[in-house]
Structure 1
Amino acid sequence: MAPVSDGSPRVTFISTFRFLLAGAYLGLLLNMPNWTGDLLGPDHVSPSLEVAAIFGLLALASAARGRAGRGLTSALAAAALLLGALRLADISSHMLIGRPVNLSLDLMLLPAILEVLAGAASVPELVAAAVAVPAILAVLFLLNLWAIRTAARFLERRPNRLFFAGALCALAVPALFGLRPYAPLDQGSVALLRWQVSQAAQASALRAEHLAGFRTDPFAGLSDDAVLAHLGRRDVYVMFFESYGETVLVDPRYRSVIEPTLADFDRALSEEGFGVRSGLIESPIRGGQSWLAHGTFLSGARLGDQGLYNLMLESGRQSLTHYFRRAGYETMAVMPALSRAWPEGGFWGFDRIWSTDDMGYAGPPFGWAAIPDQYTLDFIHRRKLRQRDRPLFIEYALISSHGPWEPLPPLLDDWESIGDGSVFDGMAPPLPADRQGWSGMTRNYADSVDYTLKVLRDYITRYIADDALIIVLGDHQPAPLITGDGASRSVPIHVISRDPELLAPFEEWGFTPGTIPEADRPPVPMERFRDRFLAAFSARETG
């Protein structure tokens, strides 16, 4: 019997199946959505015009030269790998910080990202990641190369090229009637790449526009005597609460844990003579990059990305901290997670910055948020609040609610026993099996917020004996993988004092009594806080 020829139906079926399989694989890679809930959805699995363009290039090369060269197929495989990596970065960005990846800004954040990952992972996990990431990229490249060379071999035969052309025509017919049988181009890899290029191209013009705005400060002409005169030299503490977002008030998974603690916080404050006004404030970010929220709060300008933050550092604008210094305050930033040099701290106007190495902590680390919030508040109270000759403006960064929210430090009833933190040795119990890792992260997040609220309750009611003004606010919502897609950027803010006159301006902003904000009140943009605060507490000048 004569051997089966390459043109037999059996061989044609197998090669066609491989061709379609190669196209489906590349389509899943290049059409990857920006949210995990849309994986394998209609747009993800629809035919990709981008893959069709790649195959069209291979068909043209075969028609002109008889076959596509190995150099061309390797280059297309590498290009598909880069586009696939961009799609993976985009979906990660949406899941973690709720916005598209922006290469012109985000590449400079790699050191910070690696620092967070290193702090949250064990040594074996870091080694495994160092091996796995290059291996995954290599496997993706080999899969791309297989898919493209499979398509190239299929398209070397003229009948197969005609089949491919007919399939494209078949896709075009529904489009004539307003239907779209293919994946949307505006959500594809090429569109994402084009957006990256446009962001980089617009950077210069936007830079000049924003810089002019940053240098416009309506309060710069106030005299030092007028600045914050109505505070009466009372201490002011701004306590940024990591990942304390509106989601704890509106999502039943978190509200059931947090609402009773907020109610208890309210009762404890009332018993000690404190009033509290609460509202919502809109952060410029979600999921991460807390320093952008801190900078927005202090500068009175919306710093929604690293480029704007860097531009602010060049602007010469006076931050809220500068105004406190002009009013005679000693200014401090307490940043227990700051483990490297922070030269921009000088721009923000702090007289003293307390970093990780300054905190004297001798206890065990608790995940990425190594130093417990209870220790941070106790340490500064012992070291500074008892020994000073000027009123204080302190910005705290409370970090125990920073992801991955495990292990959680214990809350000690006896604050006098905290000392250098060595009391925490052996106090990090292992999580139950059903609460470890990503599967238990929602409850871990709720518990971490609950912990910091209780720390604040105990600290304020035990140790704040005067009419200080205390401002507790979230820096941003947690990652969208905690809140779900489409969550707001709002965070709770609580203003606490024994002096009703210090609380009155916040009532005019729409803040309401108690620790639970009214849900129907619109949030105050975080960038408006500085100017509103200066206007409320500075003396009016004539002339």
Structure 2
Amino acid sequence: MRLLSALLVLHLATALPDPRVLPGLDMVALALLLVLCGRRAAGRLLQGLATLALMLIVVLRLADLTMAESLGRQFNPVADLPLIDALVRLLAGTVGVLAAVGACIGALLVGGLLAWAIWWSLGTIRRAGGRAVLPVLVLAGLAMITPAMPGLRFAQDRIQLAARTVTQLADFRRQSENDPMRQLSAPLSLIDRDVLVVFLESYGRTSFDTPFYGDLHLTTLREAQSRLSKAGLAMRSGFLTSPTHGGQSWLAHATFMNGMWIGDQTRYQASVASDRWTLFDHARHAGFRTAAIMPAITRPWPEGTRMGFDTVFAAGDLGYRGQPFNWVTMPDQFTLFATDRIRTRDHDPRPLFAQVALISSHAPWTPVARMIPWQDVEDGAVFDDMATTGPTPRQVWRDREIVRQHYRDAIDYTLQAVTEYAERQAGDPPLMVLLGDHQAASSIGLDQRRQVPIHVIGPAPLVARTAGWGLTPGLIPPADAPAIPMEAMRDNLLRSFSPPADVPPA
């Protein structure tokens, strides 16, 4: 019985993510080696090395499953290790610090228990010696039906992925050194006003193509389009291809500003380390004051100064005195209200070129904020009742349909907030570029594509310059509108709003 239990544990460790598959040849080979080594010193050494190798494979497979569910891609052992810290902080903001600490301790305990189970199983097989020959031969017969080596193939794949990532990092640096836009002598000089690049968290094409979301969001956009048009504002819209799905908003931010596809943490870190000029570097050299308005940042963010921002306004710099909405530090209406203060502070005569991140539509999507009269916003304390009522994240996430309803309502709130803000600025409008960062996870957003909307709102002469990007008039692009690569946007902006004679050939 002990021997069968040991073989079962070994099978489960090597057969993840689907333990129903037949044993692989790599499992049979390992068991046979242990049988042959028996009680010799080489057997104990093999047992230890095999335990480490199997634990590594199990952890990587579990990381793959987690990444596939949350971000729609596989785990990169070189690029994604820094995400562990972000995951823990998100967990703490969602279920509380104590629960997050408990979850981390639980994960460590489970990992330790799993390591012990693998060590015990390998030791049991090794000590069984001749008694294990028959069960191993039976496994060998099963494995020969489908002669696969899933563990070995998985390890080989991850080694190759790590090697490709290192190569990719060097390639990014080489591309950064050859940037024709550095030749611009008067970048963005055709813009005579503030520019706001506003990212709408988890705003994806599903808001247009999935009836459950589109029935609400398209109605909100049609109403907003009518109001903005009456206010004298022009609009053009389309879709972009995002480098990420389900999360990691910063990859979309970096792709947009760098003009290069940045789909993983390694390329993101390479972009920060490189001397490539971002869109905001160009704006700063053009005479704009540049800023990042980032309500989700609650810790030091030294990378911001490497991205072309003169000033980073993190959560603590925006003057919010209300309660947080779980992970969301403040509602989008307040973030936009604070943006107005930043636009007029210090009476700086230079126009502002800013990135604004709206986060009310970030998971866990509870409680969902509601719009209030703008004159009542003040320091944000008025939002306390909203922030402290409604179901908890744990209650919402018990039912996937309820999660989708909350996500739908959160996106609708963000659309209301940002379009009302644009309408309020109609007397002296900034040029606003609104775009989603990524789609929600497929199980929530019901759409696996990496496509997000983009809207340009502002004075008609400036908005007209974006027609060449493939954007169409209004806030609702045609259903068959092709997606523009997000990495094309930096150069699109620089080409459209710099003197034609100054722009290098495409």
Corresponding residue of 1:462: 424
Pick from 222, 233, 241: which aligns with 2:184? 222
Count of residue pairs the alignment pairs up = 499
Pick from 95, 109, 114: which aligns with 1:140? 114
Corresponding residue of 1:198: 160
Corresponding residue of 1:498: 459
**Using a 3 Å threshold, how does the CA distance of structure 1 residues 508 and 438 change in structure 2: closer, same or farther?**
farther
**Farther-moved stretch of structure 1 (269-278 vs 382-391):** 382-391
Corresponding residue of 1:168: 140
Corresponding residue of 2:364: 404
**Using a 3 Å threshold, how does the CA distance of structure 1 residues 513 and 23 change in structure 2: closer, same or farther?**
farther
CA distance in 2, matches of 1:471, 1:411: 22
Q: SS at the partner of 1:46?
A: coil
Asked if 1:59 is matched to 2:43, the reply is: no
Q: Matches of residues 78-157 of structure 1 in structure 2 within 5 Å?
A: 78-152=52-126, 155-157=129-131
Asked if 1:394 is matched to 2:354, the reply is: yes
Q: Matches of residues 338-377 of structure 1 in structure 2 within 5 Å?
A: 338-377=297-336
CA distance in 2, matches of 1:397, 1:512: 24
Q: Matches of residues 469-488 of structure 1 in structure 2 within 5 Å?
A: 469-483=431-445, 487-488=448-449
CA distance in 2, matches of 1:219, 1:432: 48
Corresponding residue of 2:271: 312
Amino acid corresponding to residue 404 of structure 1 in structure 2:
P
Deviation at 1:149, TM superposition (A): 4.2
**Using a 3 Å threshold, how does the CA distance of structure 1 residues 171 and 88 change in structure 2: closer, same or farther?**
closer
Deviation at 1:287, TM superposition (A): 2.1
Q: Is the 8 A contact 2:200 2:435 kept in 1?
A: yes
Deviation at 1:81, TM superposition (A): 2.6
Q: SS at the partner of 2:386?
A: coil
Q: SS at the partner of 1:493?
A: strand
Q: Deviations over 1:340-366 (max 9, x none)?
A: 222222222222211112111110011
Deviation at 1:305, TM superposition (A): 1.7
Deviation at 1:383, TM superposition (A): 4.1
**Farther-moved stretch of structure 1 (429-438 vs 520-529):** 429-438
Q: SS at the partner of 2:454?
A: strand
Amino acid corresponding to residue 140 of structure 2 in structure 1:
L
CA distance in 2, matches of 1:319, 1:381: 24
Q: Is the 8 A contact 1:300 1:527 kept in 2?
A: yes
**Using a 3 Å threshold, how does the CA distance of structure 1 residues 528 and 66 change in structure 2: closer, same or farther?**
closer
Deviation at 1:534, TM superposition (A): 1.1
Amino acid corresponding to residue 193 of structure 1 in structure 2:
A
Amino acid corresponding to residue 126 of structure 1 in structure 2:
A
Percent sequence identity over aligned pairs? 37
Q: SS at the partner of 1:223?
A: coil
Q: Is the 8 A contact 1:292 1:304 kept in 2?
A: yes
Corresponding residue of 1:534: 494
Deviation at 1:146, TM superposition (A): 4.5
Pick from 379, 396, 416: which aligns with 2:338? 379
Q: Deviations over 1:264-290 (max 9, x none)?
A: 222222222222211110111122222
Deviation at 1:244, TM superposition (A): 1.0
**Using a 3 Å threshold, how does the CA distance of structure 1 residues 88 and 463 change in structure 2: closer, same or farther?**
same
Deviation at 1:447, TM superposition (A): 1.6
**Using a 3 Å threshold, how does the CA distance of structure 1 residues 436 and 234 change in structure 2: closer, same or farther?**
same
CA distance in 2, matches of 1:98, 1:210: 23
Pick from 505, 514, 518: which aligns with 2:478? 518
Deviation at 1:327, TM superposition (A): 2.5
Deviation at 1:435, TM superposition (A): 5.6
**Using a 3 Å threshold, how does the CA distance of structure 1 residues 379 and 167 change in structure 2: closer, same or farther?**
closer
Q: TM-score, normalised by structure 2?
A: 0.90
Deviation at 1:78, TM superposition (A): 4.3
CA distance in 2, matches of 1:171, 1:130: 37
Deviation at 1:323, TM superposition (A): 1.9
Q: SS at the partner of 2:501?
A: coil
CA distance in 1, matches of 2:42, 2:167: 43
Amino acid corresponding to residue 423 of structure 2 in structure 1:
T
**Using a 3 Å threshold, how does the CA distance of structure 1 residues 435 and 494 change in structure 2: closer, same or farther?**
farther
Q: Is the 8 A contact 1:68 1:152 kept in 2?
A: no
CA distance in 1, matches of 2:455, 2:243: 18
Q: Is the 8 A contact 1:67 1:156 kept in 2?
A: no
**Using a 3 Å threshold, how does the CA distance of structure 1 residues 189 and 221 change in structure 2: closer, same or farther?**
same
**Using a 3 Å threshold, how does the CA distance of structure 1 residues 127 and 541 change in structure 2: closer, same or farther?**
closer
Q: Deviations over 1:377-426 (max 9, x none)?
A: 112213434744222212101111111222223321x1111111111222
Q: Deviations over 1:9-61 (max 9, x none)?
A: xxxxxx4xx6555444433333223xxxxx56xxx533233322221222222
Q: TM-score, normalised by structure 1?
A: 0.84
Q: SS at the partner of 1:219?
A: helix
Q: SS at the partner of 1:541?
A: helix
**Using a 3 Å threshold, how does the CA distance of structure 1 residues 538 and 438 change in structure 2: closer, same or farther?**
farther
Corresponding residue of 1:290: 249
Q: SS at the partner of 2:466?
A: helix
Amino acid corresponding to residue 495 of structure 1 in structure 2:
V
Q: Deviations over 1:144-200 (max 9, x none)?
A: 34543454455532xx5145335424543x4xxxxxx35x54xx3333332332333
**Using a 3 Å threshold, how does the CA distance of structure 1 residues 532 and 142 change in structure 2: closer, same or farther?**
same
**Using a 3 Å threshold, how does the CA distance of structure 1 residues 131 and 349 change in structure 2: closer, same or farther?**
closer
Amino acid corresponding to residue 487 of structure 1 in structure 2:
Q
Amino acid corresponding to residue 143 of structure 1 in structure 2:
A
Q: Structure 1: state its 5+ residue gaps.
A: 1-14, 34-38, 175-180
**Using a 3 Å threshold, how does the CA distance of structure 1 residues 155 and 271 change in structure 2: closer, same or farther?**
farther
Q: CA RMSD in A?
A: 2.7
Pick from 409, 412, 435: which aligns with 1:450? 412
CA distance in 2, matches of 1:433, 1:243: 17
**Using a 3 Å threshold, how does the CA distance of structure 1 residues 529 and 170 change in structure 2: closer, same or farther?**
closer
Corresponding residue of 1:32: 16
CA distance in 2, matches of 1:290, 1:473: 12
Deviation at 1:214, TM superposition (A): 0.9
**Using a 3 Å threshold, how does the CA distance of structure 1 residues 170 and 134 change in structure 2: closer, same or farther?**
closer
**Using a 3 Å threshold, how does the CA distance of structure 1 residues 363 and 265 change in structure 2: closer, same or farther?**
same
Q: Structure 2: state its 5+ residue gaps.
A: none
CA distance in 2, matches of 1:97, 1:105: 14
